[in-house]
């Protein structure tokens, strides 16, 4: 399905009664099977945007509309969280099956589906482990499997690899791309890491500091499937430089102000 975000705004009332504008008139579109990254400095509201699209927060004004064909019972979105958000009392498999339970699928079908995505994310042999018995990378794979298992129209990923160490992060990015090549859902991927955004996405939506506005949408002209060798290509460097140029001053100002 296509996701259309139209003039989306979100404001909060803070403790002293002041109105804080988190998002100001965001507009963007995610085409079917497209991989879109949302990037911006700290505090630009990118996680807020994702939560609104997921239906976990109400917008103050504007809409988010999903357009296109949908399988009966197919959920609009599924989310992968930065801090994994796995249920510690459930095994890996039971975590993967959570969304399937809420969809009302019978046990046999749940088992089959979860097995498929457990295999797809390389978790075979670890299904019966509890999250505290898994490494960070494995936990996020469970998170990804859980989200993919419900077959959402759009996969929302909120800085999914920030909590992992650098080596694991690199490997996981490769894996995600591999999984995506096979699953081919649309992905909306929030990150603050330019390298990550350019390497993974078809387009990068660059947001400003609060109040978050779309500064520019930077297309990435790299061929798929992506591979490590492309990190030196001019298309990569150009896109990365362009984005850095957009947010550099923003990031500096944020640092000085001390707010994030």
Question: Does residue 99 bind another protein (CB under 8 A)?
Answer: yes
Count of residues touching another protein (by CB under 8 A): 24
Within 8 A by CB and 6+ apart from 3, the residues are 29, 30, 53, 64, 65, 66, 67, 154, 186, 188
Interaction between residue 65 and another protein (CB under 8 A): no
Q: How far is the CB of 215 from another protein (least distance, A)?
A: 28
**CA–CA dist 77, 75 (Å, integer):** 6
Considering the rule CB under 8 A, would residue 199 count as an interface residue with another protein? no
Between 87 and 244, whose beta carbon lies closer to another protein? 87
- Which parts of the chain fold into alpha helices (H)? 46-54, 92-102, 107-120, 136-149, 166-183, 194-200, 234-257
Encode burial over 13-47: b for 16+ CB neighbours within 10 A, e otherwise: eeeeeeeebbbbebebbbeeebbbbbbbbebbbbb
> What whole-number distance in Å separates Cα of residue 88 and Cα of residue 129?
10
Q: Does residue 98 contact residue 84 with C-beta atoms inside 8 Å?
A: no
Torsion on CA atoms 90, 126, 137, 54, rounded to nearest 10: -40
Burial class (CB in 10 A: 0-12, 13-18, 19+), 115: middle
Question: Is residue 135 part of the contact set for another protein (CB under 8 A)?
Answer: no
Site string for another protein, 140-159 (x = CB under 8 A): ------x---x---------
Show contacts with another protein in window 33-62 (CB under 8 A): 54-56
Does residue 67 touch another protein according to CB under 8 A? no
Task: Please report how close the Cβ of residue 55 comes to another protein at its closest, in angstroms.
Answer: 8
Which of residues 115, 130, 168, 177 is near another protein by CB under 8 A?
Answer: 130
The answer to whether 92 contacts another protein (rule: CB under 8 A) is no
d(CA 234, CA 225) in angstroms, rounded, equals 17
Shortest distance, CB of residue 208 to another protein, whole angstroms? 26
Q: What are φ and ψ of residue 55, in 5° steps?
A: 85, 15
Q: Does the footprint of another protein cover residue 233 (CB under 8 A)?
A: no
- In the complex, the smallest distance separating the C-beta of residue 131 from another protein, rounded to whole angstroms, is 7
Residue from 41, 45, 131, 137 touching another protein (CB under 8 A): that is 131
Quick one: which segment of 10-18, 80-88, 167-175, 207-215 binds another protein (CB under 8 A)? Answer: 80-88
Piece of 25-33, 74-82, 162-170, 175-183 that binds another protein (CB under 8 A): 74-82
Given the complex with another protein, which of 153 and 204 has the nearer CB atom?
A: 153
For β-strands 214-219 and 203-207, DSSP reports them as antiparallel
Interface with another protein (CB under 8 A): 54-56, 75, 77-79, 81, 83, 85, 87-89, 98-99, 101-103, 130-133, 146, 150
């Amino acid at each position: 399905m296509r996701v259309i975000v139209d003039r989306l705004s979100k404001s909060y009332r803070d403790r002293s009664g002041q109105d804080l504008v988190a998002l100001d008139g965001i507009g963007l579109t995610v085409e079917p099977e497209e991989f879109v990254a949302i990037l911006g400095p700290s505090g630009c509201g990118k996680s807020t945007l994702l939560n609104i699209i997921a239906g976990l927060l109400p917008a103050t004004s504007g809409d988010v509309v999903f357009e296109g064909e949908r399988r009966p019972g197919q959920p609009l979105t599924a989310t992968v969280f930065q801090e994994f958000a796995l249920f510690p009392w459930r095994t890996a498999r039971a975590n993967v099956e959570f969304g399937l339970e809420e969809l009302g699928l019978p046990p046999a079908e749940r088992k089959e589906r979860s097995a498929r995505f457990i295999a797809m994310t390389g978790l075979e042999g670890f299904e019966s482990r509890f999250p505290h018995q898994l490494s960070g990378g494995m936990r996020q794979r469970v998170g990804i499997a859980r989200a993919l298992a419900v077959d959402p129209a759009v996969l929302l990923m909120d800085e999914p690899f920030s909590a992992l160490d650098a080596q694991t992060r690199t490997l996981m990015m490769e894996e995600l791309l591999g999984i995506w090549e096979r699953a081919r859902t649309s992905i909306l991927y929030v990150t603050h890491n330019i390298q990550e955004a350019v390497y993974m996405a078809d387009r990068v939506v660059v947001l400003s500091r609060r109040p978050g506005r779309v500064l520019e949408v930077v297309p990435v002209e790299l061929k798929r499937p992506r591979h490590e060798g492309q990190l030196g290509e001019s298309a990569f460097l150009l896109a990365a430089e362009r984005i850095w140029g957009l947010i550099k001053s923003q990031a500096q100002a944020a640092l000085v102000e001390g707010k994030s």
